[in-house]
Structure 1
Amino acid sequence: MNKKVILSCALTGAGDTTTKSAHVPVTPKEIADSAIKAAKAGATIAHIHVRDPETGKLSHDVNLFQEVVERIRESETDVIINLTSGGGGDWIPSDEDPTKGGEGTDIQTPEERHEPIGKLLPEMCTLDCGSINFGDMLYVSPTDWLRKQAKLVKESGVKAELECFDTGHVRFANQLIEEGLIEGDPLFQFCLGIPWGAAADAETMAYMKSRIPENAKWAAFGIGRMQMPIVAESLLQGGNIRVGLEDNLYLKKGQLATNEQLVDKAVGIVHSLGSDIMTPAEAREHLNLLNPYGREG
């Protein structure tokens, strides 16, 4: 069991959740404010997507990412910034012509996915390590694209968080490491419970953990009602943890949550099991990160 864990808060995500909860942050100010509140509640890392302020839908606008990052930095709140580089990967076949993308399809090139990372140089970014049936759509992240992205992330000096939604993703992440596209001690994130990826249970977590290099760091999260059980299980198995409205909207059955409430609940679980949360400064040393302004620290 970890005596000190890194706690990530995934603030808003890309899903159609803004119609389900008024607590999901949408504008850059709301997202930044939510990151600051989550940090004050105990989050080590703020994981950031952005949304169109007018529609609440997913956006890839680098200017929106920049506003969020600048607002957090200008607040002088100490939290590690982790930007998504998942970008546009949604493929929904057209009913009329299944060889073409239908309504809701949103595909970006590796270079486009990397643009916010290369411009803003956060301390961390995610790297989704494969394609998957994601509910009723296909998330597209081909291996050659991922090699390009991993190379771009490496050249930028940003720490890649290797997002693994299924066991095959762990295999390919290991291949990226073997090819020298991931430097230093790798960092894995096991994304559990997504239909139709890896299950959110102790056995699946243990298997994925068993397949990573000895020098790797890792974390896990579950979605929906499995968010808090996976917090406890990851801690017990020696991993780090993640909560937030990207993955779960409820504090308990029937009660919508805020990000800071989810962080506070996770902190309580960690403390109840006799562990504690790493500060951002401790996590930077543990993960060998750049500081928020791009200098070694």
Structure 2
Amino acid sequence: MSDKVIISCAVTGSVHTPTMSPYLPLTPDQIAEQAIEAAQAGAAILHLHARDPSDGRPTPDPAVFDQFVPRIKAATDAVINITTGGSTRMTLDERLAYPLRAQPEMCSLNMGSMNFSIHPVARKISEWQHAWEQPYVEGMEDLIFRNTFRDIKHILRVLGDECGTRFEFECYDVGHLYNLAHFVDEGLVRGPLFIQNIFGILGGLGPDPENLVTMRSTADRLFGRDGYRFSVLGAGRHQMPLLTMAAVMGGNVRVGLEDSLYLGRGQLARSCAEQVRKIRRILEELSLEVATPDEAREMLGLKGREAVAF
């Protein structure tokens, strides 16, 4: 089992907007359908954000999450992973509103405050479907995603200690690994660690293959090779090449329309499941086995699907 690869799928996120792809899932029905299809294609973990069904903007509203999360659980045995990142425009209380209510097996946790932006993308778009999109994308140039040490400590306590939720530790730079090591040293984080290394976001590490090696070797020094499981997220066109490299290095992989809208050069992905199926084909061509949801639960020490509050 230790050699099996966990496929995570981030279904919609809060970065891309409706104008950027007609296939981006926005409504609760669309999010549920794409998540279920991704699980059927081989995703063991489903990473979920919510969107306002009227215009597709990101929302932290628990009532919207409730329209698709229980439906996904009923239709799949996948691990449901709820964001605590939300978007750069949400307060910490808003970002935690649904996770605290749902008490899922897993939540994402960004390991530091950072500049996080895709504002250059706005230059390539001349017409927008909704009035909120252009200022949302352009406005990222002057926003910071906030997760201070105190914020992270609070999340670890109220979700981890009090709800039994474990975390996908999102690390966008080498310093984020050291932040995680700090919380391990403080006794606030206990293994097994699941570290999501993220490349290609403006404000974080670039998508150079050498950076993947740097993150892997740094994590080895900080946690020991057997002290963590690492996964890789490559943004945009860097998705499949970096994930293939990660798999060869013994890592796990994350796909989904949150991370990339494309399946190949100039080819929009029509669903998250298309990306899951593609990376699964690559893994199997490399003679690697894909982990089932229950195998992922055992590998990551999760509390189990019956211990959630939805």
User: Shared fold by TM > 0.5?
Assistant: yes
Structure 1 residues 19-58: aligned runs within 5 Å? 19-58=19-58
Q: 2:91 aligns with which of 101, 104, 108?
A: 108
Give how far 1:183 is off: 2.3
Task: Assess if the C-alpha contact under 8 Å between 2:34 and 2:273 holds in 1.
Answer: yes
CA RMSD of aligned residues (A): 1.4
CA distance in 2, matches of 1:225, 1:16: 14
Give how far 1:71 is off: 0.7
Partner of 1:179: 186
Give how far 1:19 is off: 1.2
Task: Assess if the C-alpha contact under 8 Å between 1:165 and 1:197 holds in 2.
Answer: yes
Partner of 1:263: 276
**1:233 and 2:245 matched:** yes
CA distance in 2, matches of 1:134, 1:255: 25
Structure 1 residues 200-215: aligned runs within 5 Å? 200-212=207-219, 213-214=223-224, 215=227
Structure 1 residues 1-297: aligned runs within 5 Å? 3-75=3-75, 77-88=76-87, 90=88, 106-109=89-92, 111-135=93-117, 136=141, 137-154=143-160, 155-212=162-219, 213-214=223-224, 215-257=227-269, 258-294=271-307
Higher helix share: 2
Give how far 1:115 is off: 2.2
Which structure has more relative contact order (CA 8 Å, sep 6+)? It is 2
- What do the CA deviations read for 1:138-197 (whole angstroms, capped 9, x no partner)? 212212111111111212100111101111111101111111221231111101110121
Task: Assess if the C-alpha contact under 8 Å between 1:165 and 1:198 holds in 2.
Answer: yes
CA distance in 2, matches of 1:130, 1:237: 25
Give how far 1:202 is off: 2.5
Give how far 1:48 is off: 0.3
Give how far 1:107 is off: 3.6
CA distance in 1, matches of 2:103, 2:245: 32
CA distance in 2, matches of 1:242, 1:87: 18
Give how far 1:210 is off: 2.0
The residue matched to 2:181 in structure 1 has which SS?
helix
Task: Assess if the C-alpha contact under 8 Å between 2:58 and 2:86 holds in 1.
Answer: no
- What do the CA deviations read for 1:60-87 (whole angstroms, capped 9, x no partner)? 0011122221111222x12110110013
Task: Assess if the C-alpha contact under 8 Å between 2:247 and 2:283 holds in 1.
Answer: yes
The residue matched to 1:293 in structure 2 has which SS?
helix
Task: Assess if the C-alpha contact under 8 Å between 2:10 and 2:259 holds in 1.
Answer: yes
Change over 3 Å in CA distance of 1:153–1:217 after alignment to 2: same
Give how far 1:39 is off: 0.7
Give how far 1:283 is off: 0.7
CA distance in 1, matches of 2:264, 2:90: 35
Once structures 1 and 2 are overlaid, which stretch shifts more, 45-54 or 134-143?
134-143
Task: Assess if the C-alpha contact under 8 Å between 2:83 and 2:108 holds in 1.
Answer: yes
Once structures 1 and 2 are overlaid, which stretch shifts more, 226-235 or 147-156?
147-156
CA distance in 1, matches of 2:262, 2:163: 36
For 2:8, the aligned partner's letter is S
For 2:291, the aligned partner's letter is M
For 2:188, the aligned partner's letter is L
CA distance in 2, matches of 1:252, 1:204: 22
The residue matched to 1:4 in structure 2 has which SS?
coil
- What do the CA deviations read for 1:63-121 (whole angstroms, capped 9, x no partner)? 1122221111222x121101100134x2xxxxxxxxxxxxxxx2413x43222112112
Normalised TM-score (structure 1) = 0.89
For 1:239, the aligned partner's letter is G
CA distance in 2, matches of 1:61, 1:34: 20
The residue matched to 1:47 in structure 2 has which SS?
strand
Count, aligned residues: 276
Task: Assess if the C-alpha contact under 8 Å between 1:43 and 1:263 holds in 2.
Answer: yes
CA distance in 2, matches of 1:203, 1:153: 34
CA distance in 1, matches of 2:191, 2:235: 29
Task: Assess if the C-alpha contact under 8 Å between 2:13 and 2:49 holds in 1.
Answer: yes
The residue matched to 1:184 in structure 2 has which SS?
coil
